[in-house]
Amino acid sequence: MRRRLTARVLLFDPGGRILLMKGRLPSAPDGAGAWFTVGGGAEPGETVLEAAAREVREETGIAEFALGPVVWRREGVLRLADDEPVLFDEHYVVARCPGGEPARQGWQADEHRLIDDIRWWTHADLLATDEPVFPPGLASRLPDILAGRYPDPPQQIPW
């Protein structure tokens, strides 16, 4: 089974809000959407931090940000649009930025087709929502991250 190195970004603004995207899987383009962090697969030869920086620029249009450490890891299998099962090796990277309205100009065609929304969330918003959010348990894990308490080594979280 192919393994996909993936950078997921916990992108925070100065108020502690996190930027999440709502979208659908390529294998289920008509399925229900879910909220998830900015990020995606690393390109050949790219490190996790290089992939995280590229994904922030491409998916949000935000050019000014500071990357922090990888704080969480998780692995699981997802099926791609061609039904190929792929083992995703996710690394969650903390990043801080000045905030602002995210831009969609850097999105690829499949992102325009599958991403329905992108917006900033407060911790209270996440605690109150009934909508699916990934990774599971994001709201309960955020207080330590927001306070600058980062696990070392990165914490393994459930798929």
Q: Where are the alpha helices (DSSP H) in the chain?
A: 48-60, 109-114, 123-128, 138-146
Q: Map residue 138 onto helix, strand or coil.
A: helix
- Please give the Cα distance from 35 to 21 (Å, whole number): 5
What pLDDT, on the 0 to 100 scale, is given for residue 31?
85
90 Cβ neighbours under 8 A, 6+ residues apart: 6, 7, 8, 39, 72, 73, 74, 75, 76, 135
Its pTM surpasses 0.85: yes
Range 2-156 has CATH code 3.90.79.10: yes
Task: Kindly list the domain boundaries of the chain, sorted by start residue.
Answer: 2-156
Indicate the pLDDT class of residue 82, thresholds 50, 70 and 90: confident
pLDDT tens for each residue of 7-26: 999 999 999 999 999 999 88
Give the angle subtended at the CA of 25 by the CAs of 24 and 27, to the nearest 5°. 135
